[in-house]
Amino acid sequence: MSVSSFSLEGRIAVVTGASRGLGQAIALALSDAGADLCVTAREEAALAETRARIEARGRRCYIAAQDVTDLASIETTLSAFADSAGHIDILVNNAGVEQVSQSLDVHGELWDRIIDTNLKGSFFWAQATARQMARQVSGGSIVNLCSLTSFVGIPTAVPYGASKSGLLGMTRALATEWAGMNIRVNAIAPGYFRTAMTEDFYRDEAWQARMLDRIPQRRFGEAADIGGAVIFLASDASAYITGHCLPVDGGFLASI
C-alpha cells in the first residue's frame, strides 16, 4: 500500500446535492485527490461556487440542474455526462432533505418527500450509474451518505431515520449483488455537522451542550472532516471493502 493508492487522478466522479454543505465539501475533496467532477443540485445557479472552487484546483467540473426525485432526469443527466466524459468511476449519493416533526404530526406529503429524496433518489442514481460502470473494465465505487439515524433512533426524525436506515440496507444489498461487476458500494454516516440543513438545531445552545457532552472528541464535525473518508472509499486504497458503513462522528456511536 502506498500513498498513490489514494490518488483519484484520471477518475470521474458524480456528487449529488453538491451546491453547499457536505456535498460541496465532498466534491472539493475529490477534486483535491485528482478527480474531475459532475456536480448536481436542483438549481444550476447554486452550483456556481462549487464549480469555481473545483476549477481553481485545476480540475474539470460539469454542472447539472437535477432533482433526484425526478427519475427521468437522472438518466438524462448521467447519459449526457457519460457521453462527454467517456466513463464514470465514482458516485457519491449525497442529496438529502430533513424536516423535524413530531411523529404524530407526520403527513403523507412530508413522508414521501423525504423518502423519495433520500432513499428512492439514491437507489435510482446508483442503478443508472451501475449500468454505466458495468460496461467499464475498471468498474467503479459508489458511496452513499447514511446517518447516525441509520443506527439509532432520533426523536422527531422518523421519516429521515427510516430513509437513512433503508439506505444502509440498500448499501449492503447492492454491494453483494454488484461485486461481480467490480462495483463497490459503501456508505458514510456523518455525525453532528453544522450545515444549512441542520442549522435549526444549532440555534439551541442547550441542545449544543447536550450533544457535545455525548461526543467523545467534544466537538462538532467540520466540512474538512468528511473528505478523507470519501477519498478512502472512492479510491483503490479500499479495493477490498464493500458493503461497509463508516461513521464519521467523533466517536458518538462507539460511546453509546
Active site residues: 160
What φ, ψ does residue 190 adopt, rounded to 5°? -65, 145
Residue partners of 202: CB distance under 8 A and separation at least 6:
194, 208, 220
Q: Which residues make beta-bridge pairs with 219?
A: none
Q: Give residue 34's identity as a one-letter amino acid code.
A: G
What φ, ψ does residue 98 adopt, rounded to 5°? -145, 145
What φ, ψ does residue 61 adopt, rounded to 5°? -145, 120
Residue 247 DSSP SS3: strand
Residue whose C-alpha cell is 441542545: 207
Query: Could you tell me the end-to-end alpha-carbon distance of the chain, in angstroms, rounded to an integer?
Result: 33
Angle at the Cα of 229 from the Cα atoms of 31 and 47, rounded to 5 degrees: 40
Indicate the length of the chain as a whole number.
256
Helix or strand holding residue 76 (H, E): helix 71-85
- Give the Cα separation of 41 and 99 in Å (integer): 18
